[in-house]
Chains A and B, each alone.
Chain A
Amino acid sequence: MTYQEWFREDRLPHIYCTGCGNGTVINCTLMAVDEMGWKKEDTAFISGIGCSSRAPGYIVTDSLHTTHGRALAFATGVKLGNPDLHVVVFTGDGDLAAIGGNHFIHACRRNIDLTVVCMNNQIYGMTGGQGSPTTPMGALSTTTPYGSAEPAFDLCELAMAAGANYVSRWTSYHVKELTRAVLTGMQTPGLSFIEALVQCPTNYGRRNKFKQVLDQVEFMRSHTVLIQKLKRMEEQGEKFPDPVIPVGEFVRRNRPALGVKV
């Protein structure tokens, strides 16, 4: 089987804009699912509302496209209702960190056996480009027309502090690393959180000096530094990109997990 077989072909073409990074993340996730050898009938994809959350509709398994911010609460019911199911959640920065923030920290605290893939485009894409909790300070959006005045959430630090067993961050540029991270997340019992920074040319890029799709992808390439390397650079006083996006595995541990079949 290949990952392409997991697509719900009669739902294509998808709604994503030209140049959107979400498709890359879906591909990476399905490649990881395929490598896990999961069966379609044993797998469920769950999401909330937003661009990211349309992803389960393009996948051939059982899928639940729920209300804004609540995907993790629905997924908790599905997983505990049938622990034999492999449950993957697609979410975005607005869905997960704003309206769904409380469910996010509690799902991490419970360390429930879910794989959570967050497509972080740093903007509300579907509603036309409003600022989100991960919009960088100073960045422009329709609701931050003079530049965002609020500090942004670091979703990985949040997931780690709240208790998730596996946390990593990559970008849509890092296809192989992202696929491997999702795979490792799926192999790790408990809550696995994988943040995938994605370009949003329509609603983020064009307002924030990324004239071409590849400009934003190039930014993600050149401003990401592996966490361990960044620590070393900081210790040795070396120069690193500004702003810098730490990527890699934040944590991988074995706290007691909920929803794991004994």
Chain B
Amino acid sequence: MTRTDFMQGNTACAEGALAAGCRFFGGYPITPSTEVAEHMARKLPKAGGVFIQMEDEIASMASIIGASWAGKRSMTATSGPGFSLMMENIGYAVMTETPCVVVNIQRGGPSTGQPTMSGQGDMMQCRFGSHGDYSVIALAPASVQEMFDLTAKAFNLSDRFRTPAFLMADEIIGHMREKLVIPDTVPMQGRKPLQQGVLPFHPDEDLVPGFPQFGKGYGVHVTGLTHDERGYPCATSPALHEELVKRLVNKIESHRDEIADYDVVNPDAETVFISYGVPARSVQQVLHDQKNPDVGHLRLKLVWPFPDSALRIFKNAKTFLVPELNLGQIAREVQRHTKNEVVMLPKLGGALHSPAELTTVLEGYL
């Protein structure tokens, strides 16, 4: 039965994971994400799952990859410094096509930065942080409800595309308390198993291979080295390496429109806010106050792969205003995809853009 609750974003994230069938959590305490781990520690054992506090974030990331190969939906949660430590094993998950979910409750960086304050400074690290060329899937919740919904969705996307999926939240959404409607069931799209007789890294038409879970008799060899379709290391063939890396990228990039997830308000507007995560809340307030059909809003619930086709919905758009809690990481991505004027509205320090601040900027473009 659907139930209504009032809870913190981080707790809602953990509830979303549990509802999606996550049965393994490996993590390490770090502000402001720790409540995710604490809730999983309480709930997972009762749900027949495993919670383990690892010795660091490197080990946390390793443990969820291991558990994924053992057949479990698995997750970790962290913040900036821990996210940095996870990078090598995130690349391993990409290369070995291991489904897993990484939650980053972003805080102010670089380094230890502002542990208790909000930020969105890890958006490009999420996209490019591990070495080599690759693509990722990253969601950006803007409410406690979306902490639940998008966490559950991250598991489906991760399994569907056999790639790590990121929930790029932030301290404000993580610690905010709001109404949450917990549905009876959440949509589930599991991994497609590897068919007998098919090589373990031979992709189907959608470029994603079936998953050869450990313990099922596949006898699969999994390596972070460049490998052929048998999974065997073959690290010196230029053609094989290029083919593999391009497939890892294209299996995500060629499905941009399928993966895209966003809300559109006033598609005929000339001046359009583009937001993701918590700044969307201030933008929503501005639009509510203005009641002006000439002010639009594209709210991205998913940032990577960047849903560039969404920009073209705003056919009359002349200006895109992009408020974000960093120095313009996604605004630059918007610039890559449009000839319109892109106005960066960066904000550092942990506080959110106030609706009044945004209104002042907006009035300069109306």
Contacts and interface: CB of A to CB of B under 8 A. Distances in A.
17 contacts: A46-B66, A57-B232, A61-B219, A62-B69, A64-B214, A65-B233, A66-B62, A66-B224, A73-B58, A75-B66, A76-B54, A76-B59, A77-B62, A77-B65, A77-B67, A80-B52, A106-B54
List the 5 shortest-distance A-B pairs measured between CB atoms, nearest first.
Answer: A77-B66, A81-B70, A81-B67, A73-B62, A77-B63
Given A57-B233, A62-B214, A65-B223, A80 B55 contact: no
B24 A56 contact: no
Given A80-B24, A102-B59, 8 more contacts: A61-B219, A62-B221, A63-B220, A76-B62, A77-B66, A77-B69, A77-B74, A81-B72
Nearest to A112: B52
Nearest to B91: A67
Interface stretch (A36-44, A116-124, A146-154): A36-44
Interface in B63-100: 63-72, 74, 88-89, 92
A164 to B, nearest CB: 15
Contacts, number: 129
Contacts of A56: 221
A85 B59 contact: no
Contact of B214 (A65, A78, A102): A78
B128 interface: no
A73 B54 contact: yes
Interface string B181-224: 00000000000000000000000000000001011111111111
B59 A67 contact: no
A212 interface: no
A44 B214 contact: yes
A40 B214 CA distance: 11
A77 B70 contact: yes
Nearest to A258: B52
Contacts of A67: 62, 88-89, 92, 224
A143 B65 CA distance: 34
A59 B71 CA distance: 21
B233 A70 contact: no
A63 B222 contact: yes
B85 to A, nearest CB: 11
Contacts of B52: 76, 80
Contacts of B67: 77-78, 80-81
A57 B24 CA distance: 26
B174 interface: no
B232 A11 contact: yes
Given A74-B62, A78-B67, A80-B24, A8 B55 contact: no
Contacts of A106: 54-55, 59
